[in-house]
Amino acid sequence: MSRQLTDRKILVVDDDTDFASDLKMWLKREGFCVHVAQVGRAAIQFHRLYRPYAAVLLDLHMPKVDGFEVLKEIKGTDVRTRVAVLTADATTRDQANALGADAFLVKPINREAICGLMEQLATSTLS
């Protein structure tokens, strides 16, 4: 995969099917190539198989393998991948930051904010 395409590849991890679909649509409109995982185990597999990603947009609260485990795995194997945590629970910020989150967003959030942050994170991986 070319460097330009890799720099635009995003992994969205969210168990809310409708919201994940919206995120994918928003990011594709901004020129990103988007993979979607709706469970933590799939997110870890996608990261192993298709990395590098420019950024990961990660929900924390998912069944079985939660976002904290996904974040720990991603940062444990690839510290350069930028991970933005997206959650409804603002009290998890310290734990997410301790595991290496690069950004922390609290739901609800709008399209412009998400797309802007993903652009910023994707650009910061170019160094």
Q: Using a pLDDT cut of 90, give the percent of the chain over it.
A: 80
Q: Is 85 helix (H, G, I), strand (E, B) or coil?
A: strand
Q: What is the pLDDT of residues 89-118, one digit of tens each?
A: 999 999 999 999 999 999 888 999 999 999
Residues 19-50 as b or e (16 or more Cβ within 10 Å = b)? ebeebbebbeebebbbbbbebbebbbebbeee
**Which CATH number does the domain housing residue 85 bear?**
3.40.50.2300
Query: 0.85 exceeded by the pTM?
Result: yes
Q: How far is CA 94 from CA 86, 91, 97, 107, 120, in A?
A: 13, 7, 5, 16, 22
Nearest-angstrom CA–CA distance, 54 and 56: 7
How long is the chain?
127
Residues of the domain holding 87: 3-124
Mean per-residue pLDDT of the chain: 90
The set of residues, in sequence order, having a beta carbon less than 8 Å from that of 74 and lying 6+ positions away, is 44, 47, 56, 81, 83
Number of domains in the chain: 1
